[in-house]
């Protein structure tokens, strides 16, 4: 029988745990807004709303960005690691994207 893995690190608590929870929530809101833009168009304004799907997506991305900034400030993640991820994703997108931007 295999022994269970037990992390030597304690799970996050307090402020860091709350920031990580909010990060999950904001990421889900970005996902939902991007899905609405795909389904109904980026310029569509839903009934009862003042902003287009593109504008609402931008606001959600701003919310997500602020939580990321706070995680950086708390030394949970680093700018260097985020930038490394950006560079890596750029390479992947350049290699695997099947479409090109409109002129």
> Is 7 inside a domain boundary?
no
Mean pLDDT by 10 residues, the chain (103 residues): 84 97 98 98 96 98 98 98 98 96 84
Nearest to 70 by CA among 13, 19, 4, 8: 19
Domain count, the chain: 1
Encoding tokens for residue 100?
A: 């090109």
pLDDT at residue 36, rounded to an integer: 97
pLDDT at residue 3, rounded to an integer: 84
pLDDT at residue 103, rounded to an integer: 78
> Is 101 inside a domain boundary?
no
Nearest to 26 by CA among 14, 36, 34: 34
pLDDT at residue 27, rounded to an integer: 98
CA distances from 82 to 47, 64, 69, 79, 89 (A): 37, 14, 11, 5, 10
pLDDT at residue 49, rounded to an integer: 95
What is the residue range of 43's domain?
15-96
């Amino acid at each position: 029988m295999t022994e269970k893995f037990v992390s030597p690190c304690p799970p996050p608590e307090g402020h860091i745990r709350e920031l990580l929870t909010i990060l999950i929530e904001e990421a889900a809101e970005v996902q939902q807004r991007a899905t609405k833009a795909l389904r109904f168009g980026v310029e569509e304004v839903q009934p009862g709303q003042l902003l287009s799907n593109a504008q609402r997506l931008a606001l959600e991305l701003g919310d997500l960005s602020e939580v990321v900034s706070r995680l950086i400030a708390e030394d949970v993640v680093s700018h260097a690691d985020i930038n490394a991820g950006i560079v890596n994703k750029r390479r992947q997108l350049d290699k695997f994207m099947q479409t090109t931007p409109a002129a």
